[in-house]
Amino acid sequence: MSEHSESFIEKSTVKTADRDHRRKINFNIGRYNAVVPKGKEQFSNVNLAREKAKNIKWKAIENLDKMLESFEAKITKRGAKVIWAEDAQQALDEIGKICAEKKCKTLVKSKSMVTEEIHLNKFLEEKGIESIETDLGEYIQQLDGEPPYHIVTPAMHKSKEDVAKLFADKLGTDPKLTPEQLTQVARNVLRKKYAEAEVGITGANFIIADIGGIAITENEGNARLSCSIPKTHIVVASIEKVIPSMNDLALFWPLLATYGTGQKITVYSTIINGPRQEGETDGPDEMYVILLDNGRTNILANEKTRESLYCIRCGACLNACPVYKNIGGHSYETTYSGPIGSVITPHLKEMKEWKHLSYASSLCGNCTEVCAVKINLHELLLENRHEAVDEGDTSFVERTGWKLWKKAMLKRNLMNMGSRKIKNWVVNTLLKGWKEHRSKMEFPKKSFNQMWKEKYGNR
């Protein structure tokens, strides 16, 4: 068992028994479930919209090289600089270089999972740069020294009382502040930081190939401030975020808003296609776009799992997953949690170390059912299991167990061997891991074979 697998089981076991955690998650996911159907009403045929979005992403991913080159050519013409980073270290080195050049002491950051993936904040901290999260949920998590809990709602596991207590501990505020007052406190702290920061970093919800732009959607206006007030704007975007045309946003923006938060459209939707141009009053002097691979081309090369690159990070599959709802986001110990995280992490990192996530699923298919772009998530979890077995990432006990099982299943007389008592003892002794988290397996008094014979004889 890998180190990560052991720690995953340990953390999941604790969280599953934590009723307070479950109460908070159920409350927040309950609110999400109540608003999503309203958001869906804006589509005359929501399934058709999802199908169309999937086809557009298929086109984008099948032509990824051309799409990214088109993006680069267009945005470069308007003065932005595009940097290609193969892995996290290359991206960090480039950001480090830009920050050093700009003598950056303070940096404002809007919510971006890809910067979590490359552990940007830790890197900046080691360089002596203060990096401030400006999304309220991310700011709460940063104050608490925790990574995001969910890809859309980073502090989903905290109640308003938890946040009031955290602010009181860290910022010395009254522990009885209301959510509105807490937001005001964060606002006052953050506003000053935008003005101080030499550099602003954002992610990109979409990379638009035809016009050479990036699209950002957010509800707080913090991303707009992060990319327009500091003199330098750095975008860190993973390469699969590409869509062919600006026209596609007419579909993707409402789809992302509805499946992400149940809104018809997110409050601030912005397209940026370069730094401030001559004659313009707003915007940074310089803009850099870092296009990050970090394992995506491994997924691209794999025809079966390529589909996972269509993901628009709406978070719907996390909210629908019975496993996620019980074990919570932090048990995964990955940047991307829930079903989509379990699908992509073994490919972004290492199958041997992370295959356990693909087994932590009941394969109920709820994730596939709710996915905004109709990714066959549960099939991909199965595919990961196949790949892990094909690569030989299995233990001796597992291999022997399945061999014996196959032998027994193919021979009726072997299946009929032994009494019910012996069978119960064998399975419950051999499959100790199963028993730890589930009730004991009990063979029925009569096997199906016996019942059939009694009813129909030897037909």
Q: Which residues bind ligand SF4 (CB under 6 A)?
A: 259, 311-317, 340, 370-373, 375, 377
Strands 232-238 and 286-292: parallel
Distance of alpha carbon 236 from alpha carbon 291, whole angstroms: 6
Find, among 430, 426, 358, 428, the residue nearest to 398 by Cα. Answer: 430
- How far is Cα 32 from Cα 153, in angstroms, rounded to an integer? 11
Instruction: Return phi, psi of residue 109, to 5°.
Output: -130, 135
CB of 184 to ligand SF4, least distance (A): 31
Instruction: CB nearer to ligand SF4: give 291 or 317.
Output: 317
- Cβ contacts of 296 within 8 Å, gap of 6 or more: 238, 239, 240, 309, 348
Taking the least distance from each CB to ligand SF4, the nearer of 107 and 371 is 371
What's the closest the beta carbon of residue 310 comes to ligand SF4, in angstroms?
7
Taking a C-beta distance cutoff of 8 angstroms, is the pair 68, 300 a contact?
no
* 356 vs 378, beta carbon nearer ligand SF4: 378
Do 337 and 18 form a contact (C-beta atoms < 8 A)?
no
CB of 372 to ligand SF4, least distance (A): 4
Q: Please, which residues have CB within 8 angstroms of residue 9's CB and are 6 or more apart in sequence? A: 356
Q: Which residues contact 190 (CB under 8 A, 6 or more apart)?
A: 108, 132, 134, 139, 222
Confirm if 233 and 287 have CB atoms less than 8 A apart.
yes
CA pair distance 156, 165, nearest whole angstrom: 16
209, two tokens? 């190939």
d(CA 200, CA 104): 10
- The least distance separating ligand SF4 from the CB of residue 296, rounded to whole angstroms, comes to 14
Q: CB of residue 259 vs ligand SF4: minimum separation in angstroms?
A: 6
Q: Looking at beta carbons only, is 327 or 370 nearer to ligand SF4? A: 370
Report the nearest approach of ligand SF4 to the CB of residue 308 (Å): 7
Min CB(153)–ligand SF4 separation in Å: 12
At its nearest, how many Å lie between ligand SF4 and the CB of residue 457?
51
83 vs 367, beta carbon nearer ligand SF4: 367
Q: Which is nearer to ligand SF4, 67 or 371 (CB)?
A: 371
Backbone angles phi and psi of 317, in degrees to 5:
-70, -30
118-153 b/e (C-beta count within 10 Å ≥ 16 → b):
bebbebbeeeebebbbbbbbbbbbbbeeebbbbbbb
CB of 318 to ligand SF4, least distance (A): 7
- Give the nearest distance from C-beta 202 to ligand SF4 in angstroms: 19
Burial of 76 (0-12, 13-18, 19+ CB in 10 A): middle
Smallest gap from Cβ 237 to ligand SF4, in A, equals: 16
- Closer Cβ to ligand SF4, 149 or 259, answer by number: 259
Are the CB atoms for 379 and 358 separated by under 8 Å?
Answer: no
**For 276, what's the count of Cα atoms within 13 Å in the CB-facing half-sphere?**
16
DSSP annotation of 214:
E
User: For residues 394, 399, 400 and 404, what is the CA-based torsion angle, rounded to 10 degrees?
Assistant: 150
